[in-house]
Amino acid sequence: MTMSPELTGPVPGLTSAAQAIALAGVLAEQGITTLNLLDRAGPRTLAARATDLPGVVAAVLAGGEEAVLSCDRLDLRVEVGPAGLRWRTTRPETARLFGDAP
């Protein structure tokens, strides 16, 4: 079985808050209702449309932490850290959601 190469890139936006807003928009456009968060507190499932994603990202960064947001339906992992938000996927169609066409 051949594994697809991992695709990665920054979530569009000049600040982590702008990136979180862009990510929330992508998730809403795709009809995503839940998002997984793994941070220092452990794994949690967030209700995508009821969660203040920029607030969650700001809290992670304010605490000097790193976290991973994931959405299995899109095969999407988003790393949240001091350098901002960076997406990872093996699906070209998911990469295109962030403006990156492999």
- In the numeric block, which tokens belong to residue 96? 């295109």
**pLDDT confidence bin for 3, thresholds 50/70/90:** low
Q: Is residue 59 part of a domain?
A: yes
Residue 67's closest CA among 84, 54, 79? Answer: 79
Taking only the tens place, the pLDDT of each residue in 30-58 is: 999 999 999 988 999 999 878 898 888 88
The shares of helix, strand and coil residues in the chain, as percent rounded to the nearest 5, are: 30, 30, 35
pTM: 0.89
The answer as to whether 88 is a domain residue is yes
Q: How far apart are CA 14 and CA 6, in angstroms?
A: 24
Q: How many domains would you assign to the chain?
A: 1
The answer to whether residues 23 and 85 touch, using CB atoms and an 8 Å cutoff, is yes
Which residue range is the domain that position 39 belongs to?
A: 18-96
